[in-house]
Structure 1
Amino acid sequence: MNDPGRRILLGKVAGALGLRGEVKLESWTEPRDAIFRYQPWTLRDAQGREREISGVRGRETGKHVVATFPDVADRTAAEALQGLEIHVPRDALPPAKPGEFYWADLEGLRVVTVDGVALGTVSHLFATGANDVLVARDDERERMIPFVQPQYVTAIDLDAGVVTVDWDPDF
């Protein structure tokens, strides 16, 4: 978590919109248009090639987050951006509020039960309609634990690298 070169995936280019070079973004920031606050972006394609870009402007519409990239003036150029991942340095994000956490900061932490049974490490988290879910993986299995505090996730210690859960290891 303290790696100064660490980057966080904030979204991706979902496709072209219209004829003037605008693109639709998938943004995983809250609110969705906050993605524009964290520039420069590092754009990464499926082959792992990267380039840095600044000056992307945009807005949230009811349905999409729409972006205009510098030097992208037509649909053909916009279509070439589809699938690019948008990364920013972790230290570009503001500190989390007390009791809140960036999902990316939880990934890789050890997961243990309140009784000290190791359940693996946090692989990732995902949202459902009802609550977020923490996915803990070890060599043998994957466990999906509702990210409900303090009922199931009882403690998070970023300094120690541990998430403590009240969860049956056999479930």
Structure 2
Amino acid sequence: MAKSSNGSEKVLSSEQHDGLLQTLKTRFDKNMDRHQELEWAGVQAKLEAQPEKLWSLHEMERTGGEPDVVDHDKQTGEYVFCDCSAESPKGRRSVCYDREALESRKEHKPQNNAIDMAAAMGIELLSEEQYRELQKLGNFDLKSSSWVKTPDNIRKLGGAIFCDRRYDTVFVYHNGAESYYAARGFRGLIRV
């Protein structure tokens, strides 16, 4: 059985399981514009068959991500869930980009980093392209910003990139990977 970062098993109680499925279904039904032509029964069947993915979705929900289905890969049959909270998830803010950046700070270290948090949750950070696709489904990060996967050549030079939406435009910026801010977190996705 897989373990979470605190050593506990990545299994939901029956109450958590049922509650999360109801939350996801309610969000799915309320936001049909994000996943037109998809039916909840197919999504739920995939979730029921992969409890470890349901655990990851629970972690997304617990940290304020409000995950929802944003795509269906017809080749693999996978549904793509992404954080759809209006702002960068509150439970994942004030983090630097990765472990190397965290360890490079001499003082005032944040408690965690985006890459390790995502891995512990069983999700991945959005790429710039995925972030731009998400923005086609609504207006996200109007007051916050989100770290996105940083190309190796930028990261090797000490930088990392993040995105937000201002003036009805998606912007991509750079920062030192060791930086962190109260209004910057990260959005993730998981394929089920």
Question: Shared topology, TM-score over 0.5?
Answer: no
Q: Please tell me whether Structure 1 or Structure 2 has the larger radius of gyration of its CA atoms.
A: 1
Structure with bigger RCO (C-alpha 8 Å, 6+ apart): 2
Which structure has more strand as a fraction of its residues? 1
**Shorter-chain-normalised TM-score: which range?**
under 0.3
Which structure has more helix as a fraction of its residues? 2
TM-score (norm 1): 0.26
